[in-house]
Chains A and B, each alone.
Chain A
Amino acid sequence: MSEAAIQLQQVTKEFKGKKAVDNLSFTVERGTVVALLGPNGAGKTTTISMILGLLHPTTGTVKLLGGAPQDRQVRDRIGAMLQDVSVIEGLTVAETINLFRSYYSQPLPLEQLLQISGLDNERNKMASAMSGGQRRRLGFALAAAGDPEVLFLDEPTVGMDVTSRQLFWDTVRAMAGKGRTIVLTTHYLEEADQVADRIIVINDGKLAADGTPSQIKATTTGRTISFTAGNAVTTESLRNISGIVDIEWNGRRVKLYSNDTDQLIAELVRAELEMKDIEIMSGGLEEAFRSLVSTAKV
């Protein structure tokens, strides 16, 4: 059997006594597209940094392609687009890409890299003179330079406009089709839903959920009850009712997030709250994610 692309075993990372990642374990099989999803500060980037060997776990083990992330043989087979946009001064786009190509034993051709990053017209432009979105695309070309088996994309589409974003995901999907393992972090849920075969939800450094996008949506019912509330109804009075995960007000219209709306509606009726125009809805991924993250906090 071929080794897993990524293996985390009971990984914990502490920064000055505070746990950024807390006893995290998961395995990513080869050829999958995995999205690490979570709110800001959930520990996604810390997790990626440990998988890449940029950070050492406080306890636990990380294996990348069956070996240590620091191993040069392993590094030859991975590529990463980090969150911090980075270029060096004094080199053109093509020169920068060629420099990176020289680091790897089996680089992709320059023309192909320029094409998949959409930088054909910028090839002779100084890298430092490019816009933020162009820099991110250069970052992608550098990540792909070594024809990686595992490609890491940390918040890749931040700063990209809608068209570049679409083009970007088309390219990523094409790479995934060739059996590449792709690990991405994002807080755009739709992106994760569209691109990934698997979503790992991380919150407060812990694993909150793990499954296919449809499983995530199904297991966490993520339903909502909305109604127009009477004046007596306040956030405080709703707090006394069990089963409410989150409350959202929009004028007098209130939306309650719950994992069990059947139970909740009974509770609401029993509490004799003043409610009009009641709606019960099953949520999209957005609602699912929200209820996951909120329950994990309790």
Chain B
Amino acid sequence: MNASTSTNVNTSRSVRATVRKAAFAQIKAELLRTLRNRRFVMFSVIMPIAFYFIFTSTMDADSEVGGVNWSAYYLMSMTSYGVAGAGITSLSQKLAKERTQGWTQLLRITPLPSWAFIVSKVASQALINLCTVVLMFVVAAFAKGVDLSAAVWIESGLWIWLGSFAFMALGSLVGTIRNTDVVQVVSMIVYMGMSVLGGLWMPVETMSDTMRNIAHLMPTYWLGHGAWNMLGGGAFDWSGVLVLAVYVVAFTLISSFIIRKQEAV
């Protein structure tokens, strides 16, 4: 650059230093947006809590499922249900809207690297999921007297939180659909379908053999299963880790393949 140009442009623009600042600002903005989204608060926070109260009150509090206390069992189901919904519905709709409305295109001409954009989206959703898990656990412990050892609280909470990444990956896949109305419908069908079939609403123990086999194909089942298993003092669910990890990789690969294909011009 020439010093004699009349522009007041500084020659030492440091792009690298701004990436971290940009990523934090992006995370902050995503957090604000998610918390202001009434649909998200309704489906991922209020509904799971409401369902939890309804289904633990209508059933005998001391009843057990597979040797596990019902209010503890159903807490894991509904917490899983909440974080799965956050990934499938709110993330997919956010991504689809931003893409169809040209926002993503506008970001492509800014210095923000695309990885920083994706990482901050996932990080902010993960942070919110963590809060959802903690909120559900606190509500259940105080209002329903769910009593677990500290280790089980932490392990099951972490399990559900880590498992929620599979549903963010699924959300990003659903979000590649070009029509936002279709995304809304598809994400609700996938979410509700997977929740019911995977045994988050009604325990798989009450299902017929056929339904139980279907449940075993659902990532929702594996999300819940790892946590239910911990309640019963079972061994760590390595097969669940494997299944959820495969889902993360598969959904991420397919959605990034689709996006690359759509943008190849």
Chain A interface (Cβ < 8 Å from any Cβ of B):
1-3, 30-31, 52-56, 72-73, 75-78, 80, 82, 84-91, 95, 98-100, 102-106, 142, 146-147, 149, 178-180
Contact = CB atoms under 8 A, between A and B. Distances in A.
18 contacts: A30-B5, A52-B109, A53-B109, A77-B9, A77-B13, A82-B102, A88-B101, A89-B97, A90-B32, A90-B33, A99-B26, A99-B29, A105-B14, A105-B18, A106-B13, A146-B110, A178-B7, A179-B7
B105 A82 contact: yes
B261 interface: no
B101 A75 contact: no
A72 B105 contact: no
Given A1-B2, A102-B25, A76 B15 contact: yes
B59 interface: no
A53 B4 CA distance: 28
B109 A90 contact: no
Given A90-B34, A178-B7, 10 more contacts: A1-B2, A73-B13, A73-B111, A88-B97, A91-B29, A102-B25, A103-B111, A104-B18, A179-B6, A179-B7
Contacts, number: 111
B59 to A, nearest CB: 38
A88 B7 CA distance: 32
Interface in B1-36: 1-2, 4-10, 13-15, 17-18, 21-22, 24-26, 29, 32-34, 36
3 cross-chain pairs, A with B, having the tightest CB-CB distances, nearest first: A90-B33, A102-B25, A84-B102
Main secondary structure of the interface of A (DSSP, over half): loop
B143 interface: no
Interface size on B, as a range, is: 35 or more
A54 B105 contact: yes
A72 B112 CA distance: 8
B110 A100 contact: yes
A55 B265 contact: yes
B37 interface: yes
A72 B10 contact: no
B15 A30 contact: no
B108 interface: yes
B155 interface: no
Contacts of B237: none
